[in-house]
Amino acid sequence: MIDVITTEVIRSALESLSEQMTDTMERTSYSVILKEGKDCSSSLFDATGRLMAEGANIPVHLNALGPCLKAMLREHFPIESLEPGDVILTNDPYVGGSTGAHHTSDFIVYYPIFHNGELIAFSTIFAHLAGTAGQDPEGWHKTIFDEGLRIPPIKLYKRGELDEQLFRMILANTNSPYEQRGDILAQVAGARVGAQGLLSLIEKYGWDVLQEAIEAQIEYARDRTKNQISRIPDGRYTAESQILEDGSMGGPYTIRLAIEVTGDEVHFDFTGTDPAMPGPQNCPMSATISATLFGLLALMPSDIPKNEGPNSQIRITAPEGSLVDPRPPRAVYQRMAITHRIVDMIFKALAPVVPDAVNAESCGLVYMNGSAINRETHPTGGDLTGRHLWLNMGPSVGGLGASADSDGLSAMASWMTNVATPSVEGMEVGAPVLYLQRALRPDSGGAGKRRGGLGTIIKWKALGYDVEVSHTSQRFAVPAAGLLGGQPGATSRWVINEGTDREYDLPPAGPTIELEYGDTLTFYSAGGGGYGPPEDRPRELIERDLKLGFITERGLSAYAPVENGSE
């Protein structure tokens, strides 16, 4: 029996190694979304596809790598077909049904690790690469064929040699070939760091010791998860939510969830969810799995190791062809709209029985891409590679829901995203755009004993030509709900040329729009819901919020009982 100290040292080493893989990619990549947005994640798996360790990266990525790996081994590359030096690449959401990548801009690299001629593990990295999703990166796609080149699992490297013809074909299908070439090679470099690091650990401890430590950690995580689930009273807990609830783009569409807790096991059943829509907000099963696991594990102690152990106690049922398990040719690019709702639904369903563990609803999905031609660098307008891209706020920045013991986080990427917001300076250097404002949005967090997180106000001015803007946001018509007496957060809003005689509002989602040089866009992102009755909020916290500008004199009306002298 391996001793506890050695087991913990090995666990920490594997988790640290996963972080090193991600760091390597971020530091060697070319695109802003990776260099500054850090939109990538790393994990280590054994030869059968069981999770050994993962980095503290993007939740929606991490729990998708295992299902995709297992489908790949089952349907594309049996273990005996892999050789030392092979590197497998895919960006296809429809591997194994819909357990592949989440959309065509998400590239997954699997690096088989061999020891003494035997395949023992996989080093993996999941990354969002710029310039892949067709001509209109985050537009309102109707089918998967609108969303760019789909690459089924394929060997990019064979026995250590790069397949140059394949690589050229991939780069010919992007409008950012320079950046994408650097990003893919950075991804492979990160995965190689994982492989080399695992082999170094084997050299130090021996493979048998590592295997025993990994099995012990998986069993420990499983037991901790079983114990936590058994604390939830047996029963059936339900919730439903709508996306495109304002009726835009064919909505609303309904997601239904029943959570059945029996002893130390839990079943998440999405039966009754609407069929997949003719738009991009369908959620591949790999992303549904990620959101469901995140929603449950977020209620548990954070020191439970993130490995295969917790997954064995969780069962997920989703109707094939539905919003949460689509099939070709359905588009999937904006699947995050559903993943955020799944997390909020889990919290809402379980709030009556674990009120101290859940959060009120959050801002949900935000997407915004702008691009334009910079004629200073491309006087004649350039070709496709002359179009410069900027990201307005990262994939999802707004207010998160409050909890029993904490105000909601402000100006943050919502639950499943966890990416950094690229800096204003970085985007202005890389594209013809001038940022006029990026600030917290006062009074946008739902009032409560614990206040919801604040949304943001972001305003930019286009300094290029042939400007194209793709946008989507949630909480546009129906705000993030408060919990246990908390009030809802503010809704979102998009405004073109605010304050001028050419001002107009955009719908929450829709086709790509064209703007002129000098046009402005202002986005007011949604706030998170509050937790508990506003009249229970301590006076000193209200005064602090007023002093810091989180609420205004107008916002004090939500706390009227306190203002009138009640505690």
Is 422 a member of any domain? yes
Q: Give the residue with greater pLDDT, 455 vs 133.
A: 455
Mean pLDDT value across residues 431-457: 95
Contact 150, 91 (CB under 8 A): yes
What Cα–Cα distance (Å) separates residue 421 from each residue in 20, 26, 36? Answer: 21, 14, 7
Give me the pLDDT at residue 562, please.
47
Residue 288 to residue 296: CA distance in whole angstroms: 12
Q: Tell which of 222, 245, 272 closes a domain.
A: 222
pLDDT in tens, 547-566: 999 999 999 999 976 444 44
Domain boundary among 222, 237, 266: 222
What number is the average pLDDT over the span 383-390? 58
How many domains does the structure of the chain reveal?
2
Higher pLDDT, 444 or 131: 444
**DSSP 8-state assignment for residue 228:** H
Higher pLDDT, 174 or 357: 357
- Whether 504 is covered by a domain: the verdict is yes
Higher pLDDT, 140 or 264: 264
Has residue 378 got a pLDDT over 70?
no
In a domain, 96, yes or no: yes
Q: What is the pLDDT of residues 471-480, one digit of tens each?
A: 999 999 999 9
What are the pLDDT digits (tens) for 182-237? 999 999 999 999 999 999 999 999 999 999 999 999 999 999 999 999 999 999 99
Point out the least confidently predicted range of 116-125, 387-396, 411-420, 482-491.
387-396
pLDDT at position 308: 95
What pTM did the predictor assign? 0.93
Cis peptide bond upstream of 329, omega within 30: yes
Say if 249 falls within a structural domain: no
d(CA 67, CA 49): 8
CA distance 36 to 29: 10
Position 135 confidence tier, pLDDT thresholds 50, 70, 90:
low
Indicate whether 241 belongs to any domain.
Answer: no
Given 189, 222, 255, the domain boundary residue is 222
pLDDT at 343: 96
- What per-residue confidence (pLDDT) applies to 430? 77
Range of the structural domain that residue 80 is part of: 4-222
Flag whether pLDDT at 376 surpasses 80.
no
Per the domain annotation, does 212 fall within a domain? yes
